[in-house]
Amino acid sequence: MCQDAIRPAGPNVRALVEYDGSGFLGFQKQPSGRTVQGELEKALRGLTGRPVRVIGAGRTDAGVHATGQVVNFRPGPELPLERLASALDRALPADIAVRSVERADDTFHARYDAKWRTYEYTIRNAPVRRALEWRFVWHVPQLLDVSEMRLAAGALIGTHHFGAFGTPERGRSAVREMLRAEVLADGEIVLIRLTANAFLRHMARGIVGALVEVGLRRTAPDGLARALDSDADHPLFPMAPPQGLCLVEVEY
């Protein structure tokens, strides 16, 4: 049904999109307010003269960024594929960029065909914040115990009920498979990299918030494992703010 809704004449197109999420209510179109999907569809309508539906691989939250968002759409025959990327990029606002465009298989669906999604979360762990980073980094002035965070992150690997870290859609399962949960440190920067088959709403931010609680020694490293075993249906830890989170890759 979803794919039928985007099946007017013309090729199915796959695009790699980057955006600064600071000025958006998220990726998914809302009844009111600015969204990434809404801006893409508005630009495509201006280029083609008709409505074009855009499907995204990840429904990023308000304030969350992307360097590797994948979308698909059917622009119709009005705009040749070789001119589409440059024309679309010129029609978009400065905080959205189209990195590449290619013809996709007729059945390709950016969301349903995605096997893995990778998010990165950036923390500046230093006493003094940096003024130019505020839209992209969470400043945590207290010293984080990265080794304890790594120990805690290990419990996330595998298939679990992640309701203690995010919110599933109504009537849908909170079970997800986590392939990678890494905590990396380079000087004052702590980078948390998460790869899963799919993420609940706010799940990545919920996990980062829980790991920071461990790093601040407010929660024991086994606290995340206990949360996974609790079958909770609501977040149990403070949620990290959105600005440090970025969707960096979608694998098919």
List 4, 61, 105, 106, catalytic entry: 61
Using DSSP's 3-state secondary structure scheme, residue 150 falls into helix
What the chain holds in terms of domains, given with CATH numbers, is: 4-103 (3.30.70.580), 116-251 (3.30.70.660)
Q: Kind of pairing, strands 116-124 and 245-251?
A: antiparallel
Please name the residue that has the structure tokens 């130019």: 132
Four-residue CA torsion sign, 157, 180, 202, 214: positive
Instruction: Write the CA distances from 24 to 21, 60, 66, 169, 245, integer angstroms.
Output: 5, 10, 12, 21, 14
d(CA 38, CA 127): 39
Q: What is the distance in angstroms between the CA of the first residue and the CA of the last residue of the chain? A: 21
- Residue 92, both tokens: 């978009």
The answer to whether 200 and 175 are in contact (CB under 8 A) is no
Q: Is 61 a catalytic residue?
A: yes
Single-letter residue type at 152: A
d(CA 51, CA 7): 12
Summarize pLDDT for 18-60 with one digit per residue, the tens: 999 999 999 999 999 999 999 999 999 999 999 999 999 999 9
Q: String of b and e for 154-175 (b: at least 16 CB within 10 Å)?
A: ebbeeebbbbbbbbbeeeeebe
User: pTM, whole model, 2 decimals?
Assistant: 0.92
The CA R_g of the chain, rounded to the nearest whole Å, is 19
Q: pLDDT tens track of the chain, all 252 residues?
A: 444 444 445 799 999 999 999 999 999 999 999 999 999 999 999 999 999 999 999 999 999 999 999 999 999 887 788 889 999 999 999 999 999 999 999 999 999 999 999 999 999 999 999 999 999 999 999 999 999 999 999 999 999 999 999 998 887 899 999 999 999 999 999 999 999 999 999 999 999 999 999 999 999 999 999 999 998 888 999 999 999 999 999 999
